[in-house]
Structure 1
Amino acid sequence: MTEHTGGSQETSEGLVRRIGTGALGANIVNLVVGAGIFTLPGIVAAQLGPAAILAYLACAVTVSMVFLCYAEVGSRISRSGGSYTYIAEAFGPFAGFVASTLFWLGWSVLADAALAIALTDALALVIPALAEGAPRNLFLIALFGFLAMVNIAGLKSGVRLVLLTTIAKLLPLLLLTGVGLFAMRLDQLHIDTWPTLQDFGASVLILFFAFAGAETALNTSGEIKDPARTVPRGLLLGVGGVFILYVLLQGVSQGALGADLAGNTEAPLSAVANHVLGDWGGQLLLLAMIVSIFGALSGDVLNTPRLIFASARDGLLPGVLAKVHPRHRTPHVAIAFFAAAGCVFALTGSFKLLAVVASGAILLIYLGVALAVIALRRRHGPPEPGQFRIPGGPLVPMLSAAVIIWLLLQMSAQEAIGAGLLLAVTVLMYVIRGLLRRG
């Protein structure tokens, strides 16, 4: 895979365009396939039984519509910042500030802190000393410090780490899928009882969160070669690969364990691996889970600081965060700030609290991007030749917005309160920023 190394060019932002279609697609797979896939099959099966496969398909259609919106705006706007830049271009600086804060703080920082906690908990099963106290805290500090140093050293180093972790975590999942196809029983995929709409909606909501993450890869838009072509193709390659993998894993899990899958909500893939591969299968999947979470973290530390960089570049955050390293040509201050923030929340927060606060933020951002497609078409007309255009006029972005609103209504009271508090804090930050600038 050579797309990210050859034919690079420096942009007006001081960054270098090195990311090609293959690297973007691998980055997306790495970001999306995190800890969720190792627990999802059991959770969804407990709610829907064999009908869980239908929830995956419904989620696939929904997420596809959302990322068609990303593909269009991403091919029109090539500056770094991803969702923030798209929403700010469509709706102005206030909306951009809200989107930026919801993304880097509400989604990325808090979600990464939760992932770091999950990674440490998984390692504690093998190394009990990491369960609590000073060894645990030192490990978390070392983890974020290592990821920051790798990505400050250069985009090429960060991309290589992402590619390596993507391959390492996918191999066990592909092995389980391949062998499991021969061990599954088709009669255990038969749907005897159809779920209620409420149960189905709750399952789609869970899966929607598990599919989230591909948009983070677009924070490097300022470093993507030929974005009008690379963004749509990279999204198709990465998101399409995730869809296929998730559906196959759910089918293999249901076909191998049948009704017993619903009783394995904590580590269903380990149970499937034990059934299909033998006793060593569970250990292999535990290792894959650790690598998967680490890969998702490395992908976020590669991508999200570019959003912080873009926000600082546009005056929404302190200008020091827009500095580019004179030798490595990376946004080193933004990378260090992001890693430090994630480390602080990982040291002081709990997995459940961090996950609940982060859960609502990403859906609000998706809603903003879907509406941005319509707003940009009205303001600037349809995409130019060579840029990606969603077929069907406003149908896809309007359907995307409607489904996202419906999914937001499926949130529990706790999730809604957490998302509301985060949104209120974001607005307050914008007001304080305005007052300070006037002063």
Structure 2
Amino acid sequence: MPATALNMIDMVGIGPFVVLPLVIQIMNGPYFIWAWVLGAVVSLIDAMVWAELGAAYPMAGGSYSFLKIAYGENRWGKLFSFLLVWQTLIQAPLVVASGSIGFAQYASYLVPLEGWTLKAVSGGAVILVVLLLYRRVDSIGRIGMVLWGCVLATVGWIIWGGLSSGHYSFSLPIPEDGSFFSSVAGAGLGAASVKTIYCYLGYYNVCHLGGEIKNPSRIIPLSMFLSVFGIAALYLLMNTSVVSVIPWQEAQNSTFIVSTFIERLYGANAARVATFMVLIVAFSSLFAVLLGYSRVPYAAAADGQFFSIFAKLHPTRQFPYVSLLFLGGVAFVFSLLFKLSDVITAILAMRILVQFIGQAVGLLILHSRKKTSFPFRMPLYPLPVLLAIAVWAFIFISTGISFMLSGLTVIGLGIIAFLISTRIRKQWPFAKAETSQQT
């Protein structure tokens, strides 16, 4: 189904190809596969929240619209939707930077890169994407299909390689002493799951197109659940295939694990082909991500809910060039300054409180009002919502003190920016005060 395919395209980019060694390194042992399982479980639980909201309010905007409706379009909803867009100014460049750093990492398999040359390739990839997007682009359908085709071919090649190697054996390792939770959690499950969840993000993208989907009350929930299960199966099979050929002790130190895996099985020429395919995936995802995110501040500004400068369109080509240049410029800086592992963790730390936890709490508020009809109802409500809030809080804490503080700092600065903006425009929370003074 098209909606499910769209979700799965958005879920899989460069992520699984660069995260796999990081997860093994954090877990430092065979229990790393449980981090991928937990990532799938978190995505599935959170998808229930998105499913209820998406089926009840099938409209463009996704979380931006959900937060406004749940918290009140004329009051707190303005703040939450503003903060969502505000965080996009940081989070979106982080996503782009993660892709560009991954691009440079795999490019170093073909041409030796290190130090400033590695950063030059990473930053250069961002600049090239901005230049390609500096025009009116009406559709990314072809790019999406190229990306999805390369992803399926690459992941399928890896899985087949593991199956045909004669060493493949899928299993979920269980501690021999039976102390599953203490052993697995003690190995760094929370920190590792921060990385795997990054690879699942996108299961909700169908909600952004709710107004364009026929029978959204059925299609939106179904597409999300199929996407999570389908991608989880691919990730589990891919990880198991890799460690069936390359021992985890070796895999955890690889910077281009796919290339190494293919070279081990089929030789250097095949590895170069696989590397080229990963580079296509990485660059295509950069293009699609920056194109999509550059429209978010523009849409909010055009709606009168964000800084008006982001609503500016190019005078002749009619695209949001201010938003594109700003996000691209910040992404360029991030790609030069940060390590891939830190960028991935920061992406989660920036989004959890306002978007994921804020949205789950908003669903509880909507239910309490008893004014909304929910075509899709999650089983055992409100248990999955409460579980989602608890798990997201656990993941947020697992990002570490520095990333937690950075996320809270961005929110704090966003609140200050919101108050300044609404004060200038005499909107809530200052509109009432102004009125009362005049009377």
Question: Could you tell me the TM-score, scaled by structure 2's length?
Answer: 0.81
User: CA 1:398–1:293 in structure 2 vs 1: closer, same or farther (change >3 Å)?
Assistant: same
SS of corresponding position for 1:78: coil
CA-atom RMSD in angstroms: 3.2
How far apart, CA to CA, are the structure 1 residues paired with 2:36 and 2:108?
Answer: 32
2:417 corresponds to 1:429: yes
| Aligned match of 2:162 | 180
| Aligned match of 2:324 | 339
| Aligned match of 1:39 | 18
How far apart, CA to CA, are the structure 2 residues paired with 1:132 and 1:56?
Answer: 29
Give percent identity, aligned residues only. Answer: 21
How far apart, CA to CA, are the structure 2 residues paired with 1:168 and 1:93?
Answer: 40
SS of corresponding position for 1:39: helix
Count residues with an aligned counterpart: 407
SS of corresponding position for 2:389: helix
The one-letter code of the counterpart of 1:27 is L
Q: CA deviation at 1:402?
A: 0.7
Q: Structure 1 residues 307-316 or 63-72, which shifts more? A: 307-316
How far apart, CA to CA, are the structure 1 residues paired with 2:100 and 2:249?
Answer: 30
1:31-430 mapped onto 2 (5 Å cutoff): 31-46=10-25, 47-91=27-71, 92-102=77-87, 104-120=88-104, 122-123=106-107, 126=110, 131=117, 140-149=126-135, 152-154=136-138, 157-185=139-167, 191=173, 193=175, 195-198=183-186, 199-318=188-307, 333-334=319-320, 336-349=321-334, 350-352=337-339, 354-355=343-344, 357-364=346-353, 365-381=355-371, 383-384=373-374, 387-430=375-418
Q: CA deviation at 1:381?
A: 4.2
User: CA 1:192–1:392 in structure 2 vs 1: closer, same or farther (change >3 Å)?
Assistant: closer
Gapped runs of 5+ residues in structure 2?
72-76, 428-439
How far apart, CA to CA, are the structure 1 residues paired with 2:266 and 2:426?
Answer: 65
How far apart, CA to CA, are the structure 2 residues paired with 1:61 and 1:286?
Answer: 30
How far apart, CA to CA, are the structure 1 residues paired with 2:162 and 2:273?
Answer: 15
The one-letter code of the counterpart of 1:391 is P
User: CA 1:402–1:356 in structure 2 vs 1: closer, same or farther (change >3 Å)?
Assistant: closer
Q: CA deviation at 1:237?
A: 3.4
User: CA 1:297–1:113 in structure 2 vs 1: closer, same or farther (change >3 Å)?
Assistant: same
Contact residue 82 and residue 307 of structure 1 kept, 8 A: no
The one-letter code of the counterpart of 1:300 is V
Gapped runs of 5+ residues in structure 1?
1-20
The one-letter code of the counterpart of 2:338 is F
Q: Deviations over 1:156-175 (max 9, x none)?
A: x3122212221123212112
Q: CA deviation at 1:313?
A: 4.3
Q: CA deviation at 1:51?
A: 2.1
Q: Structure 1 residues 389-398 or 177-186, which shifts more? A: 177-186
Q: CA deviation at 1:345?
A: 1.6
Q: CA deviation at 1:399?
A: 0.6
Contact residue 105 and residue 256 of structure 2 kept, 8 A: no
How far apart, CA to CA, are the structure 1 residues paired with 2:47 and 2:216?
Answer: 15
Question: Could you tell me the TM-score, scaled by structure 1's length?
Answer: 0.81
Contact residue 109 and residue 341 of structure 1 kept, 8 A: no
Q: CA deviation at 1:261?
A: 4.2
How far apart, CA to CA, are the structure 2 residues paired with 1:143 and 1:208?
Answer: 25
The one-letter code of the counterpart of 1:178 is W
Contact residue 59 and residue 207 of structure 1 kept, 8 A: yes
